């Protein structure tokens, strides 16, 4: 139902909405919900005191947006266009086989297999010890020392590693089977740092804004940009490999 024809509100607070969504979308935050509202993807009502009130339909709308981002890697502009079309009763041009809430249908992403913006969340709850990393990644202390020496793996301030560190170690271990050593991968670290530096320049001004919703906007920007950056990197490597293979 469109904003113009909204039914009587059932009074769900933003905290209650967050609790409902968290089971399916662990990385969602109040800032993210506020950001989606500021982008016009959901339009909750307000109490006389100014507090947001969401209907069950609003929650389903948010669930659709988050699913479209996570599962189909759709940019917010495309998601909003689909929501607007569904509100008008218009079927999307490229349907999927999955029927989503309120008959909202997401297009299949052309980037199947590419990174999802939600892959770049800030969930650091899992803390991996040195011993656990060695066991999970199947490497020895000597290789870990090399990974740290060349900046490929970095423990946190408390000395723990995260899940990505384990994946990096596993990946490098697999690459060593082709004669590649950690020292050969310094260029990867340098390239990643340059990309992060570029994204930092873009989003830092938003993080510094005094607007209470600024952090949500900046978090979303950095996730989207990070996913696009990795997608571009992947495509450029694929293009280069085809050239090497004579394709």
- Contact assessment for residue 152 and residue 172, using Cβ atoms and an 8 Å cutoff: yes
pLDDT at residue number 132? 92
pLDDT tier at 110, thresholds 50, 70, 90 = very low
Average pLDDT (228-247) is 83
Mean pLDDT over 203-213 rounds to 83
Domains in the chain (CATH in brackets) are 3-113 (1.10.1660.10), 130-244 (1.10.1660)
Backbone angles phi, psi at 103, to 5 degrees: 60, 25
pLDDT higher than 80, residue 122: no
Gap between the Cα atoms of 188 and 239, Å rounded: 17
CA distance linking residue 195 with residue 192, whole number of Å: 5
Listing DSSP states for 197-244 in one string gives: HHHHHHHHHHHT---TTHHHHHHHHHHHHHHHHHHHHHHHHHHHHHHH
Average of per-residue pLDDT across 15-44: 90
List, in sequence order, the alpha helices (H) in the chain.
14-22, 30-38, 56-72, 76-87, 130-137, 141-149, 163-176, 186-207, 214-244
pLDDT at 105 (0 to 100): 36
The answer, yes or no, to whether residue 98 has pLDDT greater than 50, is no
pLDDT value at position 170? 92
Residue 18, pLDDT above cutoff 90:
yes
Dist CA 67 CA 25 (whole Å): 8
Tell whether the model's pLDDT for residue 49 goes beyond 80: yes
Average pLDDT over residues 162-174: 91
Confidence of residue 8 (pLDDT cuts 50, 70, 90): very low
Beta partners for residue 46, in sequence order: 52
> In the chain, what percentage of residues exceed pLDDT 90?
30
Q: Looking at the predicted structure, is the pLDDT value of residue 107 above 50?
A: no
Span of 66-75, 156-165, 189-198 with lowest mean pLDDT: 66-75
DSSP secondary structure letter of residue 72: H
């Amino acid at each position: 139902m469109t904003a113009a024809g909204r039914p009587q509100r059932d009074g769900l607070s933003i905290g209650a909405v967050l609790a409902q969504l968290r089971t399916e979308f662990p990385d969602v935050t109040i800032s993210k919900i506020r950001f989606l509202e500021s982008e016009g993807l959901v339009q909750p009502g307000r109490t006389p005191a100014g507090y947001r009130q969401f209907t069950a339909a609003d929650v389903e709308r948010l669930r659709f947006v988050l699913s479209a981002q996570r599962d189909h890697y759709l940019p917010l502009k495309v998601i909003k266009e689909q929501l607007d079309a569904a509100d008008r009763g218009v079927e999307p041009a490229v349907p999927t086989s999955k029927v989503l809430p309120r008959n909202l249908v997401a297009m299949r992403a052309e980037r199947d297999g590419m990174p999802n913006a939600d892959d770049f969340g800030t969930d650091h709850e899992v803390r991996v010890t040195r011993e656990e990393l060695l066991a999970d990644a199947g490497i020895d202390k000597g290789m870990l020392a090399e990974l740290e020496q060349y900046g490929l793996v970095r423990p946190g301030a408390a000395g723990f590693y995260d899940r990505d560190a384990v994946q990096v170690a596993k990946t490098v271990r697999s690459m060593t089977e082709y004669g590649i050593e950690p020292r050969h991968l310094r260029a990867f670290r340098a390239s990643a740092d340059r990309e992060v530096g570029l994204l930092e320049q873009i989003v830092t001004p938003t993080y510094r804004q005094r607007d209470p919703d600024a952090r949500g906007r900046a978090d979303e920007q950095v996730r989207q940009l990070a996913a696009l950056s990795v997608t571009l990197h992947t495509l450029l490597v694929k293009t280069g490999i085809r050239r090497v293979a004579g394709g």
